[in-house]
Structure 1
Amino acid sequence: MSAERSRDTEHMPADVAEVMRKAVRLEWITIAVLVGIVIIVYLAMGNSQAMKTAWIEDMLSFIPPIAFLIGVRVTRRPADAKHPFGYHRAIGISHVVAATALVVMGAILIGDSALKLIRIEHPTIGGIQVLGTTIWMGWLMMAAMVVTAIPPIILGRMKLKLAPQLHNKVLYADADMNKADWMTSLSALVGVAGIGLGWWWADAAAAIIIATSILKDGIGNLRAAVAGLIDARPTTFDSKHTHPLVDEVDAHLQQVDWVRSAAARIRDEGQVFHVEGFLVPETPGAATPENLEAVRRQLFDLDWKIRDVTLSPVTELPNVLETQPEA
């Protein structure tokens, strides 16, 4: 038997709904802050490869918050005949889009910076006239990096507090991107300082470090996003461990008094889960519609993230459920 909670695709408790509103506001603030950061870095960029890479990385930082906002908006659409499972996969698709962009751009930037090292290109940083005094442009570049490193630290920490409550991996990816932002600023600062010290290779080397960080984040997020789309075992918001709800569902099913053995397989559909439970009754007549309905409602009460439940009485558990993978 299969059922959904309701046609309200959000169906969040009041406290979780408030967390979602905070996350949406935070992403809009992030976009506004990024606009300012991109302008500052562009004006201070000069001929520095590290600064150029930092600027591109800041441009890429728009992708996760935009993907989050679009994904959340799409998931609010109710299920229909064409999309009977609803639009919750929009979160996973947004995750793939953001991760793919990071992988592609990280690889391109590594190649571009490595080529400059191979060609032994010596970047130059000139001066600028301020009130009749010539100031080395590098000082302005490093000041820009310090200023632009502060907001990502604050925003990233705030998102890390919200991501686990929403089980939203796009929000976590954005927090991870914010971490890359301030690390990028630090690397670019070192690269510019290296030019000032006469180390021509420091700029391109810093750019490669930045690009490698982008590529690493992209690969990690892409792996997690694809795993979700192919219905891998659900994991926590940071994709590091099996989600605890998996064991909770199995334990609950196994404790049902009229069930001899039971197990479930669960799909992670973005922020919500679809549960397929398999029950081996103690007696053939135990799996009545009333008993199945009672178990179904109990599963819904376990956690707000359980969106859809299908229960199937069987004579034996499917082989795939007999040996669960390690967490």
Structure 2
Amino acid sequence: MRAIVVNTPGGSAALEPAEIPDPVPGPGEVLVDVAASGVNFIDVYHREGRYPLPVPFVPGSEGAGTVTAVGEGVSDVVVGDRVGWAQVLGSYAAKAVIPAEQAIVLPPGVSPGLAAAVLLQGLTAHYLTHSTYAVRQGDDVLVHAAAGGMGLLLTQIAKLRGARVIGTVSTPEKEKLARQAGADEVIGYEDFADEVKKITGGGAHVVYDGVGAATFDGSLTSLRPRGMLALYGAASGAVPPFDPQRLNAAGSVFLTRPSLTHYVADREELLWRAGDVLGWVASGALKVHVSQRYPLAEARRAHDDLEARRTTGKLLLVP
């Protein structure tokens, strides 16, 4: 089958198109013909070796398609089901083996392409807005990179929960997308903390920051006393070590570095979050913006575009 393989971690050239044997599902697993794979920053971290993995490996943590075979002991997923998944390595391929407990059966009205575009980021946006900091009616929420795939989902879900959303963007085109997603205020990155304090009259209740090093200091300053900074990513680089006394000086604020793994700790929690996200997509309450689809063989170009921030919304690889 066609796949992308990383033999040696590094830059985007480490993504090598290859022909490899078809995978076979073992006990508790299902085999899926992949319709689309999501492209995410976690894939970049795996490719670079920032999160080391045994080599060689097939990257890609998100996808969707149709089940073509099931392993021993699988009962709640059957051949012919359309399923999606997140956090399952090996999605940059024509076929993938998925643990049945990670397979999410898609509801009517949600295509595999939409599922591959929304699941990983949608589940992340769900836990950030419902659990890490449960957004309440009237809260002031700062969303960085508000026109990116995560930012657009975070903005919409925070609005569904009644928040006032302030989004940061870098271009007029991205400002338009953020406003279409429901952002009440859209600002640039220069002096954004001062702008947030001016807009809110005291600071944000929560800052959702997936940018990292470039925005961290301003994100802390943007908070009101006892506010929370949810640092869920590091697109601009890792945040250097810092003195915890800064949290006191900023107003007894909270800092958390969450990850999806700990917020889908069992299948019940996974299906709760996925059910909400896919239900919103099916009803039209949550819009998914797919900015570009690339052939699987062009995974390098997809990573280059993502890292250079030349894109908005979601990127997909199509086998």
Q: TM-score range by the shorter chain?
A: under 0.3
More helix by share: 1
More strand by share: 2
With normalisation by structure 2, the TM-score equals 0.22
Higher relative contact order (CA 8 A, sep 6+): 1
